[in-house]
């Protein structure tokens, strides 16, 4: 994928995440917030033909190649595209069992138990001040939890994200108002562990 970047369709219906995330939120979040990042990124890259063959990952990792005057806006908008695409892909409503197989073993090994993972992930998402994300990442083959502000993205830190929750207010305000904790608690019912597990397995295979 490279310029012009295309808006990726939601991998499910807009009402598929009810009752944990209402249809109205998904319409705004995917159709407005995420779509605007794609459009803005294309608007910027329109002026830089030499960047138009770079992939989204390359734009976020090879930041030395970006012109100074456009570096921040490319980082923010490419990050907004990358982060939202992963966030939407990490959710669904029919696949919400617990992690299985090697990912379950790795989570137990890294955090002690699934419950402990959930507690630490919840803390990271809750304590991210202002806008941002909490992430489960793979760093040198090990699972870790981090949080990032705004549209910063872990791939710029040369680690690989497996799972993320968007804790910008636009992700939950229409349904939860100021109750971020309730949104986070309900979001755990939406994690697509099949997707996260498959992502983990393919990354581990690449590393070996
Ligand atoms: Mn968002």
CA distance 89 to 145: 18
Distance in Å, CA 121 to ligand 1 centroid = 18
Which residues lie below 8 Å from residue 3, measured CB to CB, with a gap of 6+? 42, 45, 51, 52, 53, 54
| 92 Cα–ligand 1 center, Å | 16
7 alpha carbon – ligand 1 mean position (Å): 14
According to the model, what pLDDT value does residue 96 have? Answer: 60
Per-residue model confidence as pLDDT tens digits over 90-142: 999 876 678 988 999 999 999 999 999 999 999 999 999 999 999 999 998 89
* Whether residue 204 has pLDDT greater than 90: no
Judge whether 50 and 19 are in contact, CB under 8 Å: no
Q: Are 168 and 80 in contact (CB under 8 A)?
A: no
CB-based contact 25:174 (threshold 8 Å): yes
Confidence of residue 181 (pLDDT cuts 50, 70, 90): very high
Q: Rounded to the nearest whole angstrom, what is the distance from the C-alpha of residue 165 to the centroid of ligand 1?
A: 9
CA separation for the pair 148, 131 (Å, rounded) = 9
Task: State both tokens at 52.
Answer: 């138009």
Return all residues near 189 (Cβ < 8 A) that are at least 6 apart: 20, 93, 96
| Model pTM above 0.85 | yes
């Amino acid at each position: 994928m490279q310029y012009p970047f295309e808006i990726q369709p939601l991998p499910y219906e807009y009402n598929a995440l009810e009752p944990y995330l209402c249809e109205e939120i998904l319409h705004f979040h995917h159709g407005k917030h995420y779509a605007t990042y794609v459009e803005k990124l294309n608007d910027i890259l329109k002026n830089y033909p030499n960047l138009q063959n770079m992939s989204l990952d390359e734009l976020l990792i090879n930041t030395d190649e970006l012109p100074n005057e456009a570096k921040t806006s490319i980082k923010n908008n490419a990050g907004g595209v990358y982060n939202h695409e992963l966030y939407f892909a990490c959710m669904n409503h029919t696949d919400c069992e617990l992690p299985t197989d090697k990912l379950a073993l790795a989570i137990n090994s890294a955090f002690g138990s699934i419950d402990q993972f959930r507690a630490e992930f919840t803390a990271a998402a809750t304590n991210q001040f202002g806008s941002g994300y909490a992430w489960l990442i793979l760093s040198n083959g090990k699972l870790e939890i981090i949080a990032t502000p705004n549209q910063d993205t872990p791939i710029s830190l040369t680690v690989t994200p497996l799972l993320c929750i968007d804790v910008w207010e636009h992700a939950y305000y229409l349904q939860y108002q100021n109750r971020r904790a309730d949104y986070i608690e309900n979001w755990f019912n939406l994690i697509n562990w099949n997707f996260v597990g498959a992502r983990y397995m393919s990354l581990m295979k690449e590393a070996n």
